[in-house]
Amino acid sequence: MPLARTDRPLAALLILALTLGSAATCEAAGAPDTLYINGHVYTVDANDSVQEAVAVENGRISYVGSSSGAKALATPSTRVVDLQGRILMPGLVDGHMHPLQGGAVLLKCNLNYERLTVPQFQARIQDCLERSRSKEPGQWLEVVNWFQQDMLPPGTELTHETLDVLKTQRPIAVMSSFGHSVLANTRALQLAHVDAKTPDPTGGKVQHDAKGQPSGILEDAAYERVTRLIQQPTPAQSIAAARAALDALRKQGITTFFDADAETADLESFSAVQRAGALTARGHFAPPIRPAANLDPDKAVAAIKAIAAKYDQGAARPAPSICVHNTKLFLDGVITAPAFTGAMLEPYLIDQCAAARVSCTAQPRWVPGKERGPPVYFPAPILRALLLGLARNGLEPHMHADGDRAVHEALDAIEALRKEFPESKIRAAIAHDEIVAPTDFPRYAQLGAIPVLSFQWEKPAPDTLEGAREYLGPARFKYMEPAGYLASAGARIAYGSDWPVDRLDEWFALKVGITRENAPSAGTAYAGRLSTDTGLTIPSVIRAITANSAYELHAEHEVGTIEVGKLADLIVLDRNILKIPSRELADVKVLLTVVGGKPVYAATQFEGAH
């Protein structure tokens, strides 16, 4: 298991210490390999207790308590790490991300989520074309991390014509950072055989212009007509992406991750990294069941069961391994403009004047339109059959639901599931939950449904303001991103970054989960708090990204807290998060990341490891 290269002398000391610790295990059974003393050990146990020291033996925690008690356990070969008052806490458990894609975007034409005008957008893509002239005229250009909702000026909508003016003959596909929309140029649409007569697929939509022609925007399942034509990464490229992702994870302090849409390439790539001894985080993977007409639930479940039988490695152990006991189900898309593919109980609002293509002398008049978004991608009887079929095979559902109708139907399916399987046997997660009907708030706790929230969305920003506020109306917007409301109703909130939908910045996300504020650099237009939600506390956001995410993954007996017998997945921080103002959480730096008792990352400023 590699140690990230940030300080060669420190790395050498750590590796030497690990070697000595391994020898000591053979010589003196029961002696700790490593002691961490003189720190603030935030255990995140049931009482949120804070201790001083931790002992690690054979990759597991063997002692939690006072520094004096830990020192009494030491042998001459025990490695002793003086924390010098720093905080040590459980490693982070990211309960929803897409790590292979996260690593891959670092290697592609990347717009980096930036606010761009149309000329800037075009210039960035043209630059990628110029740097890859050898791929003219036929190879695809794939562009990633386009912040569709943050184009300048606000409200800017792009079409295939935006790309058609570029100096190229290549087909181009630009992926929205939200992962639910693709902008394609005319050449790409032609190759994908998308025209005015192309029907919307199950779980997707082809956007059309005023003349009925494809606009170039393809939503959800519709964009697969384009993306399936793009040359897939080679196995070597995918392995490189997995390694890049792991490097990013350990620097953030992530010791367990959940791949929330794991194709075969994800499983193969991380398995290959593991075989090379370079897997530095515990991987949980959820192969998807895609919406499809005439879907046979039994066959769909059997396919997931076969994948799990091939890749799942059983009970957790100190060395990171691969777990497959979940599956991913997309119930809708995204609630924000211009997609509006989130399934809503009531229609989205429209500007009456804009819809009538007339000028209003007063303020825009927002009235209910005709669209509630698409039908939930799995009809209710099929969704119930899928959840029961998965549970009967020991598999657990992880459902994407953005809009309140998708959330409501997910809860209905879990209610049917609970008639046969209690929460202790089968965990059921609903990811995102951006709009939830208030009458559904208490159902999460009642049904043991786990909301997996991306806290970084809980702030004023282009997607939550220009992209949602007016279209939702005040009655729904007051509950947008309802973490605090769900917590008050007793829901067990877990956290998932959804990387690379957003930058991987766990500590900024935790800050937003408390303050519901954007960064000051976002400007005055996005100052203040989002909606009426009160937000969470520092202990509750930390629990969401540790103990609760571990519970979501049915791994709470092994990770998520610092308790005797659990795996020694630990991180050391540069400041005491229990004593700083909540806004300073965004500035936290991880100094040391330990997985199964072995350091996998050390920052140069951490001097207490020798």
* 3-state class (DSSP) for residue 531: coil
231-247 per-position pLDDT tens digit: 888 999 999 999 999 99
302-325 per-position pLDDT tens digit: 999 999 999 999 999 999 999 999
DSSP codes joined into one string, 387-440: HHHHHHTT-EEEEEE-SHHHHHHHHHHHHHHHTT--TTT--EEEEE--S--GGG
Q: Is the dihedral of CA 418, 419, 421, 424 positive or negative?
A: positive
* 3-state class (DSSP) for residue 281: coil
Which of 601, 595, 531 has the alpha carbon at shortest distance from 34? 595
Spatial distance between the Cα atoms of 409 and 404, rounded to a whole number of angstroms: 9
Mean pLDDT computed over 424-445: 98
Task: Say yes or no to pLDDT of 387 above 90.
Answer: yes
User: Using an 8 Å Cβ cutoff, are 597 and 60 in contact?
Assistant: yes
274-294 per-position pLDDT tens digit: 999 999 999 999 999 999 989
Q: Count of CB atoms within 10 A of residue 145's CB?
A: 21
DSSP codes joined into one string, 194-250: --TTPPPPTTEEEEE-TTSSEEEEEEEGGGHHHHTTSPPPPHHHHHHHHHHHHHHHH
* Unique residue bearing structure tokens 């992962």: 179
Q: Which two tokens stand for residue 187?
A: 């050449």
Spatial distance between the Cα atoms of 271 and 91, rounded to a whole number of angstroms: 21
Mean pLDDT computed over 147-155: 83
Task: Report the pLDDT value the prediction gives residue 152, as an integer from 0 to 100.
Answer: 86
Task: Report the pLDDT value the prediction gives residue 521, as an integer from 0 to 100.
Answer: 87
Higher-pLDDT residue of 193, 604 = 193
201-221 per-position pLDDT tens digit: 988 889 999 899 999 999 988
Cα atoms found within 13 Å of the Cα of residue 108, Cβ hemisphere only = 28
Task: Say yes or no to pLDDT of 24 above 60.
Answer: no
User: For 4-18, 137-151, 558-572, which range has the lowest pLDDT when averaged over its residues?
Assistant: 4-18
Task: Report the pLDDT value the prediction gives residue 448, as an integer from 0 to 100.
Answer: 98
Q: Is the dihedral of CA 144, 179, 120, 206 positive or negative?
A: positive
Spatial distance between the Cα atoms of 541 and 536, rounded to a whole number of angstroms: 6
Spatial distance between the Cα atoms of 373 and 98, rounded to a whole number of angstroms: 25
Q: Which two tokens stand for residue 229?
A: 């034509």
Cα atoms found within 13 Å of the Cα of residue 80, Cβ hemisphere only = 14
Higher-pLDDT residue of 149, 459 = 459
Task: Report the pLDDT value the prediction gives residue 165, as an integer from 0 to 100.
Answer: 96
> pLDDT averaged over the chain?
91
Which of 481, 438, 479 has the alpha carbon at shortest distance from 458? 481
* Unique residue bearing structure tokens 């298991």: 1
User: Using an 8 Å Cβ cutoff, are 207 and 215 in contact?
Assistant: yes
User: Using an 8 Å Cβ cutoff, are 113 and 177 in contact?
Assistant: yes
Helix-then-strand count for the chain, H and E: 20, 28
* 98 φ/ψ angles, rounded to the nearest 5 degrees: -135, 75
Name, in order, each residue with C-beta under 8 angstroms of 583's C-beta and a sequence gap of 6 or more. 511, 515, 517
* 428 φ/ψ angles, rounded to the nearest 5 degrees: -135, 125
* 109 φ/ψ angles, rounded to the nearest 5 degrees: -65, 110
Mean pLDDT computed over 490-517: 96
* 3-state class (DSSP) for residue 278: coil
> Measured in whole angstroms, how far is the alpha carbon of residue 491 from the centre of its chain?
19
Beta strands in 482-538 (DSSP E): 494-495
Q: Which two tokens stand for residue 362?
A: 């007063």
- If phi > 0 it is left, if psi is from -120 to 50 it is alpha, else beta; for residue 381 that is alpha
Q: Which domains does the chain have, with CATH numbers?
A: 8-91+560-602 (2.30.40.10), 104-227 (3.10.310.70), 237-552 (3.20.20.140)
Q: Which two tokens stand for residue 78?
A: 């025990």
Higher-pLDDT residue of 373, 1 = 373
Task: Report the pLDDT value the prediction gives residue 360, as an integer from 0 to 100.
Answer: 62
Helix, strand, coil percent values for the chain (each to nearest 5): 35, 20, 45
Task: Report the pLDDT value the prediction gives residue 466, as an integer from 0 to 100.
Answer: 86
N-term to C-term CA, the chain: 19
Mean pLDDT computed over 194-199: 93
Q: Label residue 20 by pLDDT band (50, 70, 90).
A: very low
Peptide bond into 460 cis (omega under 30): no
Task: Say yes or no to pLDDT of 26 above 50.
Answer: no
Spatial distance between the Cα atoms of 460 and 533, rounded to a whole number of angstroms: 12
Find residue 208's DSSP bridge partners.
Answer: 214
Spatial distance between the Cα atoms of 32 and 285, rounded to a whole number of angstroms: 32
Task: Say yes or no to pLDDT of 30 above 80.
Answer: no
326-358 per-position pLDDT tens digit: 999 999 999 988 889 999 999 999 988 765 555
pTM: 0.85
The bridge status of strand 87-90 relative to strand 570-573 is antiparallel
* Unique residue bearing structure tokens 């659990």: 566
Q: Count of CB atoms within 10 A of residue 84's CB?
A: 11
Mean pLDDT computed over 260-270: 97
* 3-state class (DSSP) for residue 167: coil
Q: Which two tokens stand for residue 536?
A: 């969470």
User: Using an 8 Å Cβ cutoff, are 504 and 252 in contact?
Assistant: yes
Q: Which two tokens stand for residue 401?
A: 């639901």
Task: Say yes or no to pLDDT of 602 above 60.
Answer: yes
User: Using an 8 Å Cβ cutoff, are 452 and 518 in contact?
Assistant: no
Task: Say yes or no to pLDDT of 160 above 90.
Answer: yes
* 352 φ/ψ angles, rounded to the nearest 5 degrees: -55, -40
C-alpha distance from residue 271 to each of 256, 307, 327, 598 (Å): 15, 13, 18, 19
